[in-house]
């Protein structure tokens, strides 16, 4: 009995220790990134390449996700709208649920899947093929050269993509509302404007920038800590997307609560 | 040895060429991807109906998909429940403080939409990338070729058990997700907004079709996630970079598949059954 | 001069190095030999700070570098370059960009100037024509030469080669051997080469040290090795399948 | 093996490539390769890195489908076989992979037993006994219960070798069996290859390697590939008359470094 208790608590304890180590490592990395950013000397080539990679490659998936999110929101409320005839609710719903809640979460998840996983795979591959060690032997600091450009890029791109995503979500919602309910797009936009949509819009963008920070730090952390060859890279990508998803939900809650309290 | 190298850099494509390539590439890529997924789905179904998936392997995979995702689903869906109730209740409070319908609407929306879809997305992330990483590293370390040389069909041996395990476990996890999110939402509603638990726990709005819709979604995510992920893993090429790209591709493709399926199933059910 | 003094290193339960001492004199090429997993690569990685010893000291050109911080090690790495076993070229960059990177990062050169200097280094290893290709487009033998060019960009005094001919076909291996030899003769670098390619060892080395079971089994000239009657050394250099060696 | 048809139906060759071509995105990797493997011989397949040796081996095993020409094994064109028939033919093959390709979720013993169990007709006790015996033969009796990740490179190579040969196949394909190993371990591996060959008289093998010195001991005939084409075929005695690039590769005068 005591042995069983011991085993259970041991496992739980070990789990928490591992979690603490990971979170600690991520925080330390975040600190090192910030320190490496003063003085702000970026490698121009590496930053440009990343801006292009991240921006261009995640553009289609963000657009498509946003269109679908807008559309699905309308489909979900179609039933009520049809029964009650309260077409004004559509715009309100899009503003509130898409701009402030579901939009940032889904776009954050997609971004972490596309860009975060990619970053972990890239850095992880560089670690197991000893390219990161090679950088160090060429007396180049991997944090400054590899991580800082990715951090800056993701922060910037996630914010921009969120703004873009909002626009496409409205488009998707308007298209679906027109096709399924015969509601004119102007009605939807009217509802949106009446519903203090700027508040929600800013909240969504703030969330998105925070997700950009967490995604970049977490995926770089898992990438730089890969061990054990090709198998290790795959495992690290897996762990990285899981951690990113968890972080997005936790951050979303924290920011949402802080926002309403303030 | 050296004489086969260029003397000058190759001419870069003209800007309009790169534009066409950039616009066209995603379509051809998605097309190719879909064709591969569907072919693999048929192969896996064939293997399942032949009874080729070993019982032990299926149980093992069900454990990997289900039990080992419990903590993750609890955390993410729990927070989703907290967030949604908090946000919606704050909104309602500003208009008129009548929370009587909040719980009922919340539970209905969870069952038909959020529990299966967010669970699906989370499983796509956790399990999808895991499957791609496992199978991808088996491909680049030539273990899949070794399986074939030993007369073990990789689809029977690797894909079919994962599909079966996931088809069973994703609906289970979705049901579990409804409970977790509802409990979290109810606790928050009670603590912050004084909503009585009996008022919150109302199944007034939940109709049969909602439950069917939620389950259909969960089952189809459960089927397609391992297929899409395994396809990404099996197409891995070359070294450690290959496994990384395969895993990345799996995350994107499986998440995307979930969003797409959600749209298609929700749309179809509205158009056909008006629910 | 490079001095390893009584280096101990273990990974978890596994003791890899148990008191290794080696001295390499300036301008010489030392070959470090031993079975796979004997700790040859582990030893040389201490010199560029990729690994830290559990005990013992490393002295480079009279400077004790054992306890240097990661930041302080960057100065050491400028004069001590390393060519890795798998070339480790940055695969997203062209051959030219790979070699020009250290110039751009350290000497703050303009792109045109950095490229020009990089092309000079590439010409040194006979790879100027391949400058605009990506690493993946050229074979392993050519990648190795580019990696050597990149390691030479900061004009290092010391160069470490980790298994430079492993996995190369005989012709490519011979090219790499010739490069190492001409490097010593023309620029006077001090080199440590980790290898178990018997042919390269006996055609290039000034001095050979054999690591066996955590310590140095024999340290001497190629002739010392040819004449040695230690059964372990004999078995290794003749490559006989049976003998006293534990593998 | 049951898969082998009567000799004479295919002029004695167990395995034959006819005008074999394979194309990847970058262009042709193999072009017009003709090759025949006769019972009882070991052919050394040599050439520079990245010039198509591994691809050729995979085509010969039916792991890659050729884009031109055909592979005939035991008198049957691999491309025309049904999956059931192909499986039957593959039972006559053994394949030693370059990177070991051990199943990392199985113990050493299960890895070796896997090809036997896959045939379905074997008695479990006989399988276990055979696996133990074969592993003991290569000095791995103590490793039966270990997982591949707990083994050194040389040990993994030996396990791969035993797994490929435990069914006593007619054709064994070795993809760079000594890559990255030190001289002593390499010699051990080549010694094992020779022993496998002796066990089953009439079985044939192709060995891909850069290790010319060690191949001399076991190969009677060599095939050299350059940019996907066969540039040399013959025994050691024919090297002298071959083009410079070939004789350089075999480096006949370089063997005396120890003298």
Average pLDDT over residues D81-96: 87
Domain ranges of chain C: 2-238
Average pLDDT over residues A83-93: 73
Query: Does domain C2-238 bear CATH number 3.40.50.300?
Result: yes
pLDDT tens figures, A128-184: 888 999 988 888 889 988 999 999 999 999 999 999 998 898 888 888 888 888 888
**Main-chain dihedrals φ then ψ at residue C83, nearest 5 degrees:** -105, 115
pLDDT tens figures, A105-114: 989 998 998 8
Nearest-angstrom CA–CA distance, C195 and C177: 11
Instruction: Give the residue, B166 or A3, on which the prediction is more confident.
Output: B166
| Contact between chains at C241 and D48 (C-beta distance less than 8 A) | no
CB < 8 Å to B6, chain C: 129-130, 132-133
Select from C91, C94, C129 the Cβ nearest to the Cβ of B2.
C129
Which residues of C have a CB under 8 Å from any CB of D? 34-37, 137, 139-141, 163, 166-174, 196, 198-199, 202-203, 226, 235-241, 243, 245, 247
C-alpha distance from C89 to closest chain A C-alpha (Å): 7
Q: Maximum Cα–Cα distance for chain D, whole Å?
A: 56
If you measure CA to CA, which chain B residue comes closest to C96?
B9
Tokens read off for D21? 């071509």
D: neighbours with 3+ CB pairs under 8 Å?
A: B, C
Position D122 pLDDT exceeds 70:
yes
Question: According to DSSP H, which parts of D138-243 are helical?
Answer: 153-165, 183-199, 212-215, 236-239
Do B253 and B132 contact (CB within 8 A), yes or no?
no
| Contact between chains at D49 and C226 (C-beta distance less than 8 A) | no
DSSP single-letter state for residue D242: S
Flag whether residue C93 sits within 8 Å of chain B, measured between CB atoms: no
pLDDT at B9: 45
Position B3 pLDDT exceeds 60:
no
If you measure CA to CA, which chain A residue comes closest to C72?
A139
Nearest-angstrom CA–CA distance, A79 and A71: 14
Best B244, B246, B261, B275 residue to mutate vs chain A (most A CBs within 10 Å): B244
Select from C77, C91, C92 the Cβ nearest to the Cβ of A137.
C77
Average pLDDT over residues C109-134: 89
Select from A79, A110, A117 the Cβ nearest to the Cβ of B248.
A117
List Cα–Cα distances, A194 to A72, A191, B252, in angstroms. 22, 5, 36
Tokens read off for C91? 């695969």
Question: According to DSSP H, which parts of C9-94 are helical?
Answer: 40-45, 70-79
Nearest-angstrom CA–CA distance, D97 and D205: 14
pLDDT tens figures, C50-97: 999 999 999 998 899 998 888 888 889 988 999 998 878 888 889 999
Query: Which of B105-114, B235-244, C227-236, D99-108 is the least confident region?
Result: B235-244
| Contact between chains at C132 and B6 (C-beta distance less than 8 A) | yes
C-alpha distance from B9 to closest chain C C-alpha (Å): 5
pLDDT at D2: 40
Query: Which of B39-53, B105-119, B232-246 is the least confident region?
Result: B232-246
**Main-chain dihedrals φ then ψ at residue D13, nearest 5 degrees:** -80, 130
Position B6 pLDDT exceeds 50:
no
- H helix or E strand, kind and range, residue D15: strand D15-24
Select from C92, C106, C150 the Cβ nearest to the Cβ of A139.
C106
Domain around A61: 2-261
pLDDT tens figures, C64-74: 999 888 888 88
pLDDT at A59: 84
Give residue D127's pLDDT band: very low, low, confident or very high (50, 70, 90).
Answer: very high
Nearest-angstrom CA–CA distance, C225 and D34: 45
Tokens read off for C173? 């291996």
Select from A43, A129, A139 the Cβ nearest to the Cβ of C74.
A139
Q: Which residue has the tokens 């791969």?
A: D160
C-alpha distance from D119 to closest chain C C-alpha (Å): 34
Tokens read off for D164? 């490929």
Flag whether residue C90 sits within 8 Å of chain B, measured between CB atoms: no
pLDDT at A3: 75
Nearest-angstrom CA–CA distance, C164 and D251: 19
Query: Which of A73-82, A214-223, C124-133, D145-154 is the least confident region?
Result: A73-82
Half-sphere exposure of A2 (CA within 13 A, CB side): 0
Instruction: Give the residue, C107 or A215, on which the prediction is more confident.
Output: A215
Residues whose CB is less than 8 angstroms from the CB of residue C120 and which lie 6 or more positions away in sequence, other chains included: none
If you measure CA to CA, which chain C residue comes closest to B1?
C142
Do C156 and C79 contact (CB within 8 A), yes or no?
yes
Question: What SS3 class is residue C17?
Answer: strand
> What's the start-to-end Cα distance of chain B, in Å?
68
Half-sphere exposure of C234 (CA within 13 A, CB side): 8
Domain assignment present for B19: no
Flag whether residue B96 sits within 8 Å of chain C, measured between CB atoms: no
Best A230, A244, A255, A256 residue to mutate vs chain B (most B CBs within 10 Å): A230
Q: What is the pTM of this model?
A: 0.84
Domain around B65: 61-269
If you measure CA to CA, which chain A residue comes closest to C155?
A138
pLDDT at B22: 65
Rounded percentage of chain B residues whose pLDDT exceeds 70: 89
Nearest-angstrom CA–CA distance, B103 and B109: 10
Position D1 pLDDT exceeds 50:
no
Do C218 and C188 contact (CB within 8 A), yes or no?
no
pLDDT tens figures, D129-139: 999 999 998 88
Best B3, B4, B5, B241 residue to mutate vs chain C (most C CBs within 10 Å): B5
Best A54, A133, A134, A135 residue to mutate vs chain C (most C CBs within 10 Å): A134
Position B180 pLDDT exceeds 60:
yes
Give the other-Cβ count within 10 Å of D29's Cβ: 21
pLDDT at B23: 66
Nearest-angstrom CA–CA distance, D15 and D10: 9
Select from B76, B90, B260 the Cβ nearest to the Cβ of A260.
B90
List Cα–Cα distances, B25 to A115, B258, C191, in angstroms. 18, 22, 49
pLDDT at B15: 65
Nearest-angstrom CA–CA distance, A223 and A127: 8
C-alpha distance from C20 to closest chain B C-alpha (Å): 33
Domain assignment present for B3: no
Position C183 pLDDT exceeds 60:
yes
| Contact between chains at B248 and A233 (C-beta distance less than 8 A) | no
**Main-chain dihedrals φ then ψ at residue A216, nearest 5 degrees:** -65, -45
Instruction: Please give the tally of structural domains in chain B.
Output: 1
**Main-chain dihedrals φ then ψ at residue D233, nearest 5 degrees:** -150, 125
Query: Which of A51-65, A215-229, D100-114 is the least confident region?
Result: A51-65
Question: Which residues in C168-189 are b (16+ Cβ under 10 Å) and which e?
Answer: bbbbbbbbbbebbbebbeeeeb
pLDDT at D120: 74
Tokens read off for C35? 């079975």
pLDDT at B159: 95
| Contact between chains at A180 and B126 (C-beta distance less than 8 A) | no
Instruction: Give the residue, B30 or D126, on which the prediction is more confident.
Output: D126
Instruction: Please give the tally of structural domains in chain A.
Output: 1
Strands C29-33 and C207-212: parallel
Give residue B11's pLDDT band: very low, low, confident or very high (50, 70, 90).
Answer: low
If you measure CA to CA, which chain D residue comes closest to B1?
D48
Do C119 and C146 contact (CB within 8 A), yes or no?
no
Tokens read off for A37? 């950013």
Select from B1, B6, B241 the Cβ nearest to the Cβ of C133.
B6
| Contact between chains at C37 and D186 (C-beta distance less than 8 A) | no
Question: What SS3 class is residue C207?
Answer: strand
Do D15 and D72 contact (CB within 8 A), yes or no?
yes
DSSP single-letter state for residue D252: G
If you measure CA to CA, which chain B residue comes closest to A129?
B240
Nearest-angstrom CA–CA distance, D91 and A182: 65
Strands C29-33 and C190-194: parallel
Flag whether residue B6 sits within 8 Å of chain C, measured between CB atoms: yes
Give the other-Cβ count within 10 Å of A248's Cβ: 26
Position B218 pLDDT exceeds 70:
yes
C-alpha C1 chain-centroid distance: 15
Select from A129, A140, A145 the Cβ nearest to the Cβ of C88.
A129
CB < 8 Å to D50, chain C: 139-140
Q: What is the three-state SS of chain B?
A: CCCCCCCCCCCCCCHHHHHHHHHHHHHHHHHHHHHHHHHHHHHHHHHHHCCCCCHHHHHHHHHHHCHHHHHHHHHHHHHHHHHHHHHHHHHHHHHCCCCCCHHHHHHHHHHHHHHHHHHHHHHHHHHHHHHHHHHHHHHHCCHHHHHHHCCCCHHHHHHHHHHHHHHHHHHHHHHHHHHHHHHHHHHHHHHHHCCCHHHHCCCCCCCHHHHHHHHHHHHHHHHHHHHHHHHHHHCCCCHHHHHHHHHHHHHHHHHHHHHHHHHHHHHHHHHHHCC
Give the other-Cβ count within 10 Å of D38's Cβ: 15
Size of interface B-D (CB pairs under 8 A): 47
């Amino acid at each position: 009995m005591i042995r069983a208790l011991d085993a259970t608590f041991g496992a739980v304890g070990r789990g928490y220790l591992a979690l603490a180590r990971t979170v600690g490592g991520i925080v330390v990395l975040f600190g090192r990134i910030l320190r490496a950013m003063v003085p702000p000397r970026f490698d121009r080539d590496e930053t440009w390449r990343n801006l292009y990679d991240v921006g261009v490659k995640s553009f289609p998936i963000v657009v498509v996700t946003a269109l679908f999110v807008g559309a699905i929101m309308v489909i979900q409320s179609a039933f009520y709208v049809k029964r009650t005839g309260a077409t004004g609710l559509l715009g309100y719903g899009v503003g509130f649920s898409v701009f402030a809640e579901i939009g940032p979460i889904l776009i954050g998840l997609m971004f972490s899947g596309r860009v975060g996983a990619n970053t972990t795979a890239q850095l992880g591959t560089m670690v197991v093929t000893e390219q990161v060690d090679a950088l160090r032997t060429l007396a180049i600091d991997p944090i400054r050269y590899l991580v800082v450009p990715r951090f800056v890029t993701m922060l910037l791109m996630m914010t921009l993509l969120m703004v873009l995503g909002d626009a496409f979500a409205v488009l998707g919602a308007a298209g679906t509302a027109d096709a399924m309910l015969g509601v004119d797009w102007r009605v939807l936009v009217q509802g949106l404007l009446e519903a203090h949509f700027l508040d929600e819009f800013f909240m969504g963008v703030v969330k998105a920038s925070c997700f950009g920070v967490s995604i970049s730090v977490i995926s770089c952390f898992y990438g730089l800590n890969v061990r054990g060859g090709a198998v290790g890279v795959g495992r690290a990508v897996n762990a990285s997307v899981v951690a990113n998803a968890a972080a997005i939900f936790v951050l979303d809650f924290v920011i949402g609560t802080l926002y309403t309290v303030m | 040895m050296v004489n086969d190298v260029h003397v000058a850099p190759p001419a870069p494509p003209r800007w309009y060429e790169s534009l066409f390539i950039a616009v066209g590439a995603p379509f051809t890529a998605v097309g190719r991807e879909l064709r591969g997924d569907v072919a693999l789905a048929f192969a896996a179904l064939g293997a399942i109906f032949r009874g080729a998936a070993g019982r032990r392997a299926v149980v093992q995979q069900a454990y990997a998909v289900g039990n080992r995702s419990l903590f993750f689903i609890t955390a993410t869906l729990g927070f989703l429940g907290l967030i949604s109730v908090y946000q919606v209740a704050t909104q309602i409070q500003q208009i008129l403080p009548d929370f009587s319908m909040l719980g009922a609407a919340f539970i209905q929306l969870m069952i038909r939409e959020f529990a299966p879809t967010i669970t699906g997305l989370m499983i796509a992330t956790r399990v999808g990338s895991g499957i791609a990483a496992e199978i991808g590293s088996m491909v680049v370390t030539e273990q899949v070729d070794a399986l074939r040389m030993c007369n073990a069909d990789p689809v029977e041996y690797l894909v079919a058990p994962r599909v079966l395990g996931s088809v069973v476990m994703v609906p289970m996890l979705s049901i579990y997700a409804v409970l977790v999110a509802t409990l979290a939402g109810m606790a928050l509603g009670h603590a912050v907004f004084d909503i009585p638990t009996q008022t919150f726990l109302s199944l007034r709005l939940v109709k049969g079709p909602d439950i069917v819709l939620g389950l259909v979604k969960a089952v189809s995510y459960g089927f397609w996630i391992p297929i899409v992920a395994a396809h990404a893993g099996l197409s891995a090429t070359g070294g450690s970079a290959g496994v990384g790209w395969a895993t990345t591709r799996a995350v994107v493709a499986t998440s995307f598949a979930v969003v797409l399926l959600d749209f298609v199933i929700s749309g179809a059910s509205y158009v056909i059954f008006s629910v | 001069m490079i001095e390893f003094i009584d280096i101990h290193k273990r990974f978890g339960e596994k003791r890899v190095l148990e008191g290794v001492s080696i001295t390499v004199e300036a301008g010489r090429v030392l070959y470090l030999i031993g079975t796979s997993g004997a700790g040859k690569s582990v030893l040389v990685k201490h010199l560029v700070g990729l690994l830290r010893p559990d005990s013992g000291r490393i002295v480079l050109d009279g400077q004790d570098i054992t306890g240097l911080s990661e930041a302080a090690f960057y100065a050491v790495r400028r004069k001590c370059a390393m060519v890795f076993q798998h070339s480790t070229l940055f695969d997203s960059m062209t051959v030219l960009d790979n070699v020009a990177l250290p110039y751009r990062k350290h000497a703050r050169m303009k792109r045109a100037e950095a490229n020009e200097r990089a092309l000079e280094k590439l010409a040194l290893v006979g790879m100027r024509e391949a400058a605009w290709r990506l690493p993946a487009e050229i074979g392993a033998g050519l990648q190795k030469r580019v990696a050597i060019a990149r390691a030479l960009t900061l004009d290092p005094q010391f160069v470490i080669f980790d298994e430079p001919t492993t996995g190369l076909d005989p012709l490519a291996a011979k090219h790499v051997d010739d490069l190492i030899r001409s490097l010593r003769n023309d620029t006077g670098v001090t080199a440590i080469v980790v290898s178990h390619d018997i042919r390269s060892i006996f055609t290039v080395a000034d001095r050979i040290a054999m690591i066996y079971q955590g310590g140095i089994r024999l340290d001497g000239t190629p002739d010392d090795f040819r004449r040695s009657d230690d059964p372990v050394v004999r078995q290794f250099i003749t490559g006989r399948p049976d003998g006293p060696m534990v593998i | 093996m049951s898969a082998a048809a009567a000799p004479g139906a295919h002029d004695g060759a167990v395995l034959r490539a006819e005008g074999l071509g394979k194309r990847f995105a970058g262009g042709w990797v193999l072009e017009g390769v003709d090759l025949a493997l006769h019972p009882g011989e070991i052919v050394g397949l040599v050439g520079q890195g990245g010039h198509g040796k591994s691809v050729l081996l995979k085509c010969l095993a039916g792991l890659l489908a050729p884009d031109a020409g055909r592979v005939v094994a035991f008198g049957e064109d691999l491309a025309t076989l049904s999956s059931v028939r192909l499986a039957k033919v593959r039972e006559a093959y053994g394949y030693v992979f370059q990177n070991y390709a051990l199943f990392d979720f199985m113990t050493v013993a299960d890895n070796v037993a896997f090809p036997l169990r896959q045939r379905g007709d074997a008695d479990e006790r006989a399988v276990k006994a055979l696996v133990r015996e074969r592993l003991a033969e290569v000095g791995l009796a103590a490793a039966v219960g270990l997982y591949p990740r707990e083994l050194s490179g040389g040990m993994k190579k030996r396990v791969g070798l035993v797994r490929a040969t435990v069914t006593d196949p007619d054709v064994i394909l070795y993809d760079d069996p000594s890559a990255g190993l030190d001289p002593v371990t390499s010699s051990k591996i080549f010694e094992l290859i020779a022993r496998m060959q002796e066990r089953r008289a009439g079985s044939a093998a192709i060995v891909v390697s850069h290790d010319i010195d060690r191949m001399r001991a076991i190969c009677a005939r060599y095939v050299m590939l350059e940019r996907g084409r066969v540039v040399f075929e013959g025994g050691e005695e024919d090297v002298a008359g071959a083009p410079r690039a070939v004789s350089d590769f075999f480096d006949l005068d370089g063997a005396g470094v120890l003298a």
